[in-house]
Amino acid sequence: MTAAIDTLLQGLLLGGLYALFATGLALSFGVMRMINIAHGDFAILSAFLAVAVVAGLGLNPFVVMILVVPAMALLGYGLQRLVLNRTLGKDIMPPLLVTFGCSIVIQNLLQEIFSADTRSLDAGSLGTDSLALGGGVAVGVLPLLIMASAVAVLAALQYLFARTRLGRAFRAASDDATTAQLMGIDNKHVYGVAMAIAMAVVALAGFYLALRANVSPSEGPARLIYAFEAVIIGGLGSLWGTLAGGMVLGVAQSVGLRLDPGWGILSGHLAFLAILVLRPNGLFPKTRDR
């Protein structure tokens, strides 16, 4: 019984990390109708950036995170304005191909600079601290922190979309880009801001990943698949669905892992396929006209 609760809890908390990975993807699809194939690689890039800065300046990882997240946001804005905006149009292929190219460039750059070795960030005692919940069940402080971050990020984005002027501009540009211009909305700028936010969140995800586990330069695409799965399980266009999707994926993986150490990743994919069969629109579909 204790083992079952423990497995479930670990899976749910892992879902927080997956939700952070998935949020940026959901955001760029939601606002720009664009799929960023390099999304996972940007997470890994942020992780290595943090590793390099920690090694170079000897700063606390959390201080470095405060530097890396805005730096990645800036990169995201620049990338959207200078490159990705030019690929947007009726055809969905150009953004796919360009971000696929980004993915290859990032992986190779990271391998060139950092070699193919895995790296991680040292979380200090935070990495091993745990909170006893009684009955022999304990949860790690770091996974809790990650989950809390995911909830905070999603709540902030939910507020942004529902209540603010910028959020309305996001939705207007997503609904009808031409009419949005007639409202005075500069779509190109709005897309840049959306990508900046997406990149900031994925940078946070990459940072937490490096605190929890070893990261290798070539694991971006694997992270992208988990993010995709979380988005699809949760339902396209639903922010909180992303967290639910991440949790389903996390629980499936930790249950699989408990049954057999080789089944963790596989059972995550199987859960994804099962949801696709049973609820093709995801758990919390947001039906829209388009």
> Which residue ranges make up the site for other proteins (CB under 8 A)?
165, 168-169, 171-172, 174-176, 178-187, 288-290
Q: Hey, what amino acid is at 284? A: F
- In the bound state with other proteins, the residue whose beta carbon lies nearer, of 113 and 162, is 162
Q: Is residue 71 classed exposed, middle or buried when 0-12, 13-18 and 19+ CB atoms within 10 A define those classes? A: middle
Supply the minimum distance, in Å, between the C-beta of residue 187 and other proteins: 7
- In the bound state with other proteins, the residue whose beta carbon lies nearer, of 28 and 216, is 28
- In the bound state with other proteins, the residue whose beta carbon lies nearer, of 90 and 165, is 165
Helical H runs in 115-175?
A: 141-163, 165-175
Supply the minimum distance, in Å, between the C-beta of residue 161 and other proteins: 9
- Which is it for the CA torsion 58, 61, 66, 68, positive or negative? positive
Supply the minimum distance, in Å, between the C-beta of residue 49 and other proteins: 34
Q: What residues have CB less than 8 Å from 178, skipping those under 6 apart?
A: none
- In the bound state with other proteins, the residue whose beta carbon lies nearer, of 10 and 174, is 174
Supply the minimum distance, in Å, between the C-beta of residue 231 and other proteins: 18
- In the bound state with other proteins, the residue whose beta carbon lies nearer, of 33 and 269, is 33
Supply the minimum distance, in Å, between the C-beta of residue 30 and other proteins: 10
DSSP letter, residue 124: G
Contacts 24+ apart (CB under 8 A), 135-139: 135/2, 135/5, 136/2, 137/2, 137/5, 137/6, 137/9, 139/9, 139/10, 139/13
- In the bound state with other proteins, the residue whose beta carbon lies nearer, of 43 and 172, is 172
In which residue are the tokens 């997956």 written?
18
- State phi, psi for 138 to the nearest 5 degrees: -135, 150
- In the bound state with other proteins, the residue whose beta carbon lies nearer, of 118 and 158, is 158
Helix (H, G, I), strand (E, B), or coil: what is residue 134?
A: strand
Supply the minimum distance, in Å, between the C-beta of residue 18 and other proteins: 26
Supply the minimum distance, in Å, between the C-beta of residue 284 and other proteins: 15
Tokens for 121, please give them: 């960030």
Q: Hey, what amino acid is at 5? A: I
Helix (H, G, I), strand (E, B), or coil: what is residue 176?
A: coil
- In the bound state with other proteins, the residue whose beta carbon lies nearer, of 172 and 196, is 172
Query: Within 13 A of 100's CA, how many CA atoms are on the CB side?
Result: 6
DSSP letter, residue 237: T
Supply the minimum distance, in Å, between the C-beta of residue 175 and other proteins: 4
